[in-house]
Amino acid sequence: MSDKKKKKLTPIQQQYQDFAEKREPKRPIIKNCIYAFLVGGFICLIGQGISTFYIHFFHFNEKSAGDPTVATLIFISAMMTGLGFYDHIAQKAGAGTIIPVTGFANAMASAAIEHRSEGYVLGVGGNMFKLAGSVIVFGVFSAFVIGIIKVIITKYLGGF
């Protein structure tokens, strides 16, 4: 917990939380990192395999093979979400399954499945971006900021 939050606590609350904290199992960070590295790397390996497959058999070049590769990974991830495997792998893999494009697909597919019972419009449509929405909002916004920085550097500082 951050120090900022801790400041609001009374001494008794603070004392209790310190006491309880000693009884809390910590997140196994090193183990989690290793799992995340291995699983995330494995997903990338699959991606590379798919990409090579498209270049070899479908006359894509290295640049144009990207789109069908991502689409294939999204399809596999959504499929695994629907069949109920993805969340079990994610409990072990953590960031390894969240960071790649498969994590984004899982966020959208899981929300869509979850809210199917509220109908297509208010349920699926309205909730599909519940988790993925903030990724898009802040992703687009940071791209915009980076874009402006790039323009300033190239135009006024004469870089690149």
Interface contacts to another protein, rule CB under 8 A: 1, 5, 8-10, 12-14, 16-17, 19-21, 23-28, 32, 81-82, 84, 86-87, 89-95, 97-98, 103, 106-107, 109-111, 113-115, 117, 130-131
10 Å CB burial of residue 132 (0-12, 13-18, 19+) is buried
CB 112 within 8 A of CB 127: yes
Which of 50/78 has CB closer to another protein?
78
CB contact at 8 A, 70 and 95: no
Kindly state the smallest distance separating residue 135's Cβ from another protein, in Å: 13
Please, where are the H alpha helices in 28-94?
A: 29-58, 66-83, 86-93
Give least dist CB 16 to another protein, A: 5
- Residue 85 or 144: the one with the smaller Cβ distance to another protein is 85
Q: For residues 51 and 115, which CB has a smaller minimum distance to another protein in the complex? A: 115
Q: Report the distance separating Cα 24 and Cα 14, nearest Å.
A: 15
